[in-house]
């Protein structure tokens, strides 16, 4: 009796993620020793830096959305937001809070605006393109002072980051500007129902929602710490510039620690990373946006553009002002 040979054909496109996750699982076993150290570092980073800096802002933002603060921002900044960014005045709350708090607060607020009907779908997608930014404490304190050892570099990176964000917002004012139906779908139903009777419930809900978000961020940090460790130890990717695109904090640290004389290039590349945010933050934002009907495309295009424009502004500043040239 003849036994017919069987051929197993794996369809790469159909099974891409199955193969990818299987390789990741096997790599966790093969590089368990280095992965353990990387995971501990990721957890330490999350517990000592991310949670203290972001969690209070998540709770505060959720609480503020239960008040009339958004209408206050509308009255103050309404005359600027519409002509500059083609967004209602309420969008100023998302921009300012996103800038003060850091990733991914801006995206979270944009999705909250969509859920509450504060802005139209097109306006919320415009907000996604420029309101999700790196925080000043991280840029000046962590990157400038701790990593580069210079508050001047930190201030340079912060200024170029903010101006680039505003530039991206102005460019994206034309995003879906042709969509007239989106403008008619706005429901100005900002909630203002907080009182002493329901204060405990509102605070509890804010803490629960913020806890879910901060745990999700911690998970991404741990996973990407493992991925970077695997890529390094396997020799698949050794360039710190490529690895820095995966996770922003570890990425910038690896770039700064390179022993090079052309420090200006490190500063310019760091400006790009701060604007782009990295793949880890992109996936964090995607997980938040996926719960709404908003498109992730304006965020992706906006962050790539933000990174490029930030790098250009930093290069121009270093060229125009000699005291910003730190080359050895």
Into how many domains does the chain fold?
1
Most confident range, picked from 48-62, 192-206, 269-283:
269-283
The verdict on pTM exceeding 0.85 is no
Q: Give yes or no for residue 31 having a pLDDT over 50.
A: yes
Most confident range, picked from 32-41, 81-90, 116-125, 293-302:
293-302
Q: Within 10 A of 172 (CB to CB), how many other CB atoms are there?
A: 23
Give the model's confidence band at 273: pLDDT under 50 very low, under 70 low, under 90 confident, else very high. Answer: very high
Q: Give yes or no for residue 191 having a pLDDT over 70.
A: no
Cα(113)–Cα(105) distance, integer angstroms: 12
Domain presence at residue 16: no
Share of the chain above pLDDT 70, in %: 90
Domain presence at residue 2: no
Give the model's confidence band at 60: pLDDT under 50 very low, under 70 low, under 90 confident, else very high. Answer: confident
- Contacts for 322 with CB less than 8 Å, ≥ 6 apart: none
Q: How many CA atoms lie within 13 A of 88 on its CB side?
A: 22
Give the model's confidence band at 183: pLDDT under 50 very low, under 70 low, under 90 confident, else very high. Answer: very low
Structural domain boundaries enclosing 205: 32-175+190-324
Domain presence at residue 185: no
Helix, strand and coil percent figures for the chain, each rounded to 5: 75, 0, 25
Average pLDDT of the residues of the chain: 84
Q: In this predicted structure, what is the pLDDT of residue 184?
A: 39
Cα(274)–Cα(15) distance, integer angstroms: 34
Give the model's confidence band at 190: pLDDT under 50 very low, under 70 low, under 90 confident, else very high. Answer: very low
Does 84 or 261 have the greater pLDDT score? 84
Token pair belonging to 143: 């990157």
Domain presence at residue 3: no
Domain presence at residue 140: yes
Domain presence at residue 1: no
Domain presence at residue 27: no
Report the candidate in 67, 60, 119 with the shortest Cα–Cα distance to residue 92.
119
Token pair belonging to 98: 């996103």
Cα(70)–Cα(60) distance, integer angstroms: 13
- Contacts for 236 with CB less than 8 Å, ≥ 6 apart: 230
């Amino acid at each position: 009796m003849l036994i017919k040979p069987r051929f197993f054909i794996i369809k790469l496109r159909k099974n891409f993620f199955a193969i990818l996750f299987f390789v990741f699982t096997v790599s966790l076993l093969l590089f368990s020793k280095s992965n353990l150290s990387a995971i501990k570092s990721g957890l330490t980073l999350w517990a000592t830096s991310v949670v203290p800096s972001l969690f209070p802002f998540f709770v505060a933002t959720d609480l503020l959305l239960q008040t009339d603060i958004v209408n206050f921002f509308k009255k103050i900044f309404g005359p600027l937001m519409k002509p500059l960014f083609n967004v209602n005045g309420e969008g100023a709350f998302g921009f300012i809070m996103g800038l003060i708090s850091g990733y991914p607060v801006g995206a979270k607020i944009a999705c909250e605006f969509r859920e509450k009907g504060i802005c139209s779908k097109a306006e919320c997608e415009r907000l996604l393109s420029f309101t999700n930014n790196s925080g000043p404490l991280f840029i000046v304190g962590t990157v400038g002072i701790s990593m580069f050892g210079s508050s001047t570099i930190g201030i340079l990176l912060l200024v170029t980051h903010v101006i680039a964000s505003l530039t991206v917002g102005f460019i994206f004012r034309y995003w879906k500007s042709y969509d007239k139906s989106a403008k008619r779908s706005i429901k100005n139903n900002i909630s203002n129902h907080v009182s002493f009777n329901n204060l405990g419930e509102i605070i509890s809900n804010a803490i629960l929602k913020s806890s879910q978000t901060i745990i999700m961020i911690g998970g991404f940090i741990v996973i990407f710490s493992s991925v970077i460790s695997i890529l390094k130890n396997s020799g698949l990717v050794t360039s710190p510039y490529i690895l820095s695109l995966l996770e922003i904090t570890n990425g910038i640290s690896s770039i700064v620690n390179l022993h090079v004389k052309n420090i200006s290039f490190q500063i310019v590349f760091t400006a790009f990373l701060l604007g782009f945010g990295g793949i880890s933050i992109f996936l964090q934002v995607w997980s938040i946006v996926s719960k709404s009907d908003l498109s992730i495309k304006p965020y992706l295009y906006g962050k790539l553009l933000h990174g490029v424009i930030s790098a250009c502004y930093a290069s121009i500043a270093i060229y125009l002002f000699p005291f910003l040239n730190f080359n050895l």
